[in-house]
Structure 1
Amino acid sequence: MRIDEFGLPSLVRLSNFAGRSSAFLARVDHDTWTRITATVREAGGRLISLWGAEEAPGISAISAAYALKDGILWLQLPVGEGHGDSDGYPDISVVFPCATRMQRAVYELVGLRAIGAEDTRPWLNHGNWPAEYRPLQKLSSGTERSQSQEADYPFVHVVGDGVHEIAVGPIHAGVIEPGHFRFSVVGEKVLRLEERLGYAHRGIERLFERVLALDGHHIAGRIAGDTTVAFTWAYCMAVERAFDIQIPPRAQWLRALLLERERTANHLGDLGALGNDAGFAYGLARFSRLKEDWLRLNDRFFGHRYLMDRIVPGGVAKDIDARSVTAMLTQCDQIDAQVRVMQRIYDDQSGLQDRFAGAGILSAEVAEHLGVCGLVGRASGRKTDVRVDHPYAPYHEVQVQMVSDERADVAARVAVRFGEIYESIRLIRALLADLPGGEIVSRIEHTGSPSRGVGWIEGWRGDVFVALETGASGTISRCHCHDPSWQNWPALEHAIIGNIVPDFPLINKSFNLNYAGHDL
């Protein structure tokens, strides 16, 4: 079903991405909001993100972005004076369960409540601000201070003979981000896991309002250090669509080069960590060295190990020359050969396979129900990849061969990582072989009128989304960034059921989700 077939009279095309996808915006009423939500589900679409904003005193809007066959449908529902319920909107978690936590965050940040929602517990507010305070409302500066009022969180309790709870976190033994995991177990077998996150909320969405749209990419690139390319590209795409700017072809190809290098670096690191979590320290040592070599070449030719600030509005900040191309192609040959050797070792190592196979199964049905995306979804047979389904430049020319697996366990998620390294290396070779000439950045001048734009990029975890609304003088009135971990964290709770507690670190690492990146 195409977006223009939904019968939305207010439908406006926001942009054509440079590629084969579009974005549309529609202002709707409560009934249409509910009808479209159900229709999107029936049409095989999925929820990308849900967020809220205060548009004027007494008037706010709840927004939802849906992925459909021909692009993004951004729905806006006004809420407030003269717009139905004064502070609420129809719950969509009954149709898209992954919206549950997003709706809880919207209420705490903006004050908009989901009418009829079953789970209304706090998500971001751990007692760090008063219950009536709303950080994203216009009257709030975002700099207010208050005393902690933390209260006990109402976890769901499992009862029965021999059932007990194990609390893990939010502070962990390793150098990782904070998150609390409450296990209900019998012996060592897990009956239920419930997560509590939100400890790393940094007020990033409010920080965007303090800078000009042409400077916001610096903030976007620091949402998640391991996904800096994807977030920056998505943000810059939103700016370019809002200001109707076309970037040079060479810049498009260089952006894809940076994205595939980011994807490869993260997969190399994860494969080592997964080996280590299964007691195979040799894997950690080998993959750590491969990742370090990869990052050093980033620094050598792009000026930053993790490629931060390399993408800018209008293009890229750093070009490459023939010497760089030769060195990267040589490295691709070396890394490809060594990773294939390591895959044979992993496949033949009985201790690893005993830990990987059958652990942390996330069935295709559960993945579909929860809207799981990215590599976790592809390892459960859910074949979604923005580079393939909605190819933006240059991916409509350099076609991606999607990597997937049907086994749905840790072994499948390991196999997808190996496959995606090989595919990224193939793409890097193709990008370097046909890299266009010309400029690497376009000049951008703000036209002076308020505008909107969206960015949508397939990061290494899954699709990263940015919705941008600008003011009359190039300021940012609202910038919402979405990490795929919103969809995938609830799936981890299902994947651990029936496993033993000592397998949780391995299963958790096979997902490797973002803590701070979705606690904006």
Structure 2
Amino acid sequence: MGPSKPTSMMLTKELAAVRLDDWAQACGDALAAGDRLVTLFGRAADDVSRGESGGASWGELIVTAVLQAADSGLYVLRGRSARGAAYPSITARHPSAQAFERELWEQTGLVPEGHPWLKPVRYEGARQQRMGEHPFFTMRGRDVHEVGVGPIHAGVIEPGHFRFMCHGERVAHLEIQLGYQHRGVEAMLLRRPPLALSTTIETVAGDTSIAYAWGYCAAVEALAGVQVRPEAELVRGVALELERIAMHLVALGGMATDIAFLQGGATYGRLRTAIINATQRVCGNRFGRGWLRPGGVRHTLDQARRSDLLATLVAFSKDFAEVNTLMLSSRSVGSRLHGTGTVTAATAAQLGLVGLAARASGLPVDARQDLPGRLYSEHPIETLTEGSGDCWARMCLRMREIDASLCWLQQVLGAAGIDLSGMAQANLGPLYPGTLCVTLREGFRGPVVQALETGADGRLLHYKLQDPSLQNWLGLAMAVRENEISDFPICNKSFDLSYCGNDL
């Protein structure tokens, strides 16, 4: 058996859509067996769903769960239901499903009976004008008080409301309410031809442009029956690791600034500028927009660009090691970060945390290792973890992941016999009809998930986007418990989650 792939494609007519209760039971059994829930979503039934039932119109909604098995990659469980139906909540047994079921309820009306925290994720549609009625969790008791922060924040921070329930300075519970940005991204993606969506996908979460663009490109290429050259995949990997380095530096700089370690804040910011400027010299944009396109890449790496990147990375590595030494040896840094914002491995597993947030709690989950595909099978990159699950662990892991990306980039860019210049983009034709394609790309926060489904005519029926922040926001809320409220900015920056990635 070959390596598991980060792109999985299946004919919808071969996906048996079962009754909703049976689907929920199958999902719960899979999670109990140790499989991971990648995403869960619903859509209105159409000609494909009627075809699955032999022509009988048995329902109005199709629900899809994508899971990842440890030994066999991605697979799909599909259910069917009439609108307004109810089913036994998966969350009641497996908390990792909580955000997925809330989103499914909000978008389709399907009710997960027994869900312990059923409230909107984004306040979509008719609910948009009812955010003031949000059923916040409340606490009672002598000396218990609430502190509300946001949704309007200072500077350029995106909107989000944080409701702290405190006993004195100690946080007993934090509830995070997002959904203030009503962009309607998924619906918008169905209004344009599928091969013309690059510029939109790149801006879903602007600091994760490469991860989103790569997942989208991989999906439409698979649906068009096109396999890009290995060299193009390698250039995409270079772009992704440059993005990872730059964005981890944002969090490191923010953490240093929040604890008044000003040398770290200034130096990490300067180093980030060096990386994003190097990206701009390759493709014309500091965030990598316009670099990746369906069929390949628009900007290749000739010898001059490779030499420029290598020189940048060598100079970067020296200064990065020096500032890391200062951060790691500072007593004031250690006293603020050790034991602050701890999420245990058990809690991280129960909540289904992904990406760096999971790895900092000791869970070795990384799509580059778990679903390596062709690129990371030929050019592997080590999965790193930390065990303490606190702000210190998340800081250290970012440093170590940057070092791993630097090592990987220097090996790839410095390797003889690999020509990364002069690659023509492959032309893509019509997409396969009646097909579901799921892609994962491990961005700097975690796996960016995209699911594209075509109808009988080859047009897109559904486009599901998922930022890793959706699964990790509750992890931040748990991290703040039993900490002082003044620790929240450090915890928040150590997770460094996306508001707009959540508010699609």
TM-score (norm 2): 0.91
The aligned counterpart of 1:197 is: 178
2:7–2:438 Cα contact (<8 Å) kept: no
The aligned counterpart of 2:167 is: 186
Backbone CA RMSD of aligned residues: 2.2
2:8–2:439 Cα contact (<8 Å) kept: no
2:256–2:262 Cα contact (<8 Å) kept: yes
Post-superposition Cα deviations, 1:292-350, rounded to whole Å, max 9, x if no partner, equal: 11111111121110001311112111112100001111111111111111111001111
Structure holding more helix per residue: 2
Q: Indicate yes or no: 2:423 matched with 1:439.
A: yes
1:210–1:476 Cα contact (<8 Å) kept: no
Q: Indicate yes or no: 2:104 matched with 1:106.
A: yes
Matches within 5 A, 1:331-346: 331-346=312-327
2:42–2:104 Cα contact (<8 Å) kept: yes
2:7–2:439 Cα contact (<8 Å) kept: no
Displacement after TM superposition at 1:86 (Å): 5.5
Matches within 5 A, 1:488-507: 488-507=472-491
Counterparts of 2:66 and 2:152, CA distance in 1: 34
Displacement after TM superposition at 1:269 (Å): 1.6
Displacement after TM superposition at 1:219 (Å): 1.8
Counterparts of 2:436 and 2:68, CA distance in 1: 18
Q: What is the DSSP-based 3-state SS (H/G/I as helix, E as strand, rest coil) of the residue aligned with 2:189? A: helix
Post-superposition Cα deviations, 1:271-307, rounded to whole Å, max 9, x if no partner, equal: 1111000111221111111111111111112111000
Displacement after TM superposition at 1:50 (Å): 1.4
1:251–1:440 Cα contact (<8 Å) kept: no
Counterparts of 2:213 and 2:444, CA distance in 1: 14
2:152–2:160 Cα contact (<8 Å) kept: yes
Displacement after TM superposition at 1:222 (Å): 1.1
The aligned counterpart of 1:454 is: 438
The aligned counterpart of 1:41 is: 31
The aligned counterpart of 2:293 is: 312
Displacement after TM superposition at 1:103 (Å): 2.0
Displacement after TM superposition at 1:149 (Å): 4.6
The aligned counterpart of 2:307 is: 326
The aligned counterpart of 1:141 is: none
Displacement after TM superposition at 1:234 (Å): 1.0
The aligned counterpart of 1:77 is: 79
Displacement after TM superposition at 1:36 (Å): 2.3
Post-superposition Cα deviations, 1:210-233, rounded to whole Å, max 9, x if no partner, equal: 011111232221110000110111
The aligned counterpart of 1:368 is: 349
1:23–1:72 Cα contact (<8 Å) kept: no
Return 5+ residue gaps in structure 2 as ranges.
47-56
The aligned counterpart of 2:54 is: none
Q: What is the DSSP-based 3-state SS (H/G/I as helix, E as strand, rest coil) of the residue aligned with 1:192? A: strand
Q: Indicate yes or no: 2:203 matched with 1:213.
A: no
Change (3 A) 1:18 1:369: closer
Change (3 A) 1:446 1:168: same
Q: Which moved more, 1:437-446 or 1:311-320?
A: 437-446
Counterparts of 1:346 and 1:86, CA distance in 2: 54
2:161–2:176 Cα contact (<8 Å) kept: yes
Counterparts of 1:46 and 1:305, CA distance in 2: 34
1:41–1:95 Cα contact (<8 Å) kept: no
Counterparts of 1:301 and 1:212, CA distance in 2: 28
The aligned counterpart of 2:453 is: 469
1:205–1:480 Cα contact (<8 Å) kept: yes
Displacement after TM superposition at 1:436 (Å): 4.2
Post-superposition Cα deviations, 1:62-98, rounded to whole Å, max 9, x if no partner, equal: 1111111211112221112xxxx75344422123313
Matches within 5 A, 1:17-166: 19=5, 22=8, 26-29=15-18, 30-56=20-46, 59-69=60-70, 70-80=72-82, 87-125=85-123, 129-131=125-127, 148-166=129-147
TM-score (norm 1): 0.88
Displacement after TM superposition at 1:159 (Å): 1.4
Post-superposition Cα deviations, 1:111-166, rounded to whole Å, max 9, x if no partner, equal: 333244333323322xx7435xxxxxxxxxxxxxx9x4554321111112211111
Q: What is the DSSP-based 3-state SS (H/G/I as helix, E as strand, rest coil) of the residue aligned with 1:183? A: strand
Q: What is the DSSP-based 3-state SS (H/G/I as helix, E as strand, rest coil) of the residue aligned with 2:95? A: coil
Displacement after TM superposition at 1:172 (Å): 1.2
Q: What is the DSSP-based 3-state SS (H/G/I as helix, E as strand, rest coil) of the residue aligned with 1:417? A: helix
Change (3 A) 1:371 1:248: same
Instruction: Name which of 146, 151, 175 aligns with 1:170.
Output: 151
Post-superposition Cα deviations, 1:421-446, rounded to whole Å, max 9, x if no partner, equal: 11111111122234345634211111
Displacement after TM superposition at 1:34 (Å): 2.9
1:236–1:455 Cα contact (<8 Å) kept: no
2:277–2:286 Cα contact (<8 Å) kept: yes
Number of residues of Structure 1 aligned to a counterpart in Structure 2: 485
Q: What is the DSSP-based 3-state SS (H/G/I as helix, E as strand, rest coil) of the residue aligned with 2:199? A: helix
Return 5+ residue gaps in structure 1 as ranges.
3-15, 132-145
Question: One-letter code of the match for 1:278?
Answer: I
Q: Indicate yes or no: 2:225 matched with 1:244.
A: yes
Q: Which moved more, 1:23-32 or 1:334-343?
A: 23-32
The aligned counterpart of 2:52 is: none
Q: Indicate yes or no: 2:380 matched with 1:380.
A: no
Counterparts of 2:369 and 2:235, CA distance in 1: 18
2:6–2:440 Cα contact (<8 Å) kept: no
Change (3 A) 1:215 1:166: same
1:398–1:430 Cα contact (<8 Å) kept: no
Instruction: Name which of 377, 383, 396 aligns with 1:396.
Output: 377
Question: One-letter code of the match for 1:120?
Answer: L
Q: What is the DSSP-based 3-state SS (H/G/I as helix, E as strand, rest coil) of the residue aligned with 1:394? A: helix
Q: What is the DSSP-based 3-state SS (H/G/I as helix, E as strand, rest coil) of the residue aligned with 2:478? A: helix
Instruction: Name which of 490, 498, 502 aligns with 1:514.
Output: 498
Segments of 4+ in structure 1 off by > 4 A?
16-25
2:3–2:371 Cα contact (<8 Å) kept: no
Instruction: Name which of 408, 421, 427 aligns with 2:402.
Output: 421
1:249–1:436 Cα contact (<8 Å) kept: no
Displacement after TM superposition at 1:472 (Å): 4.9
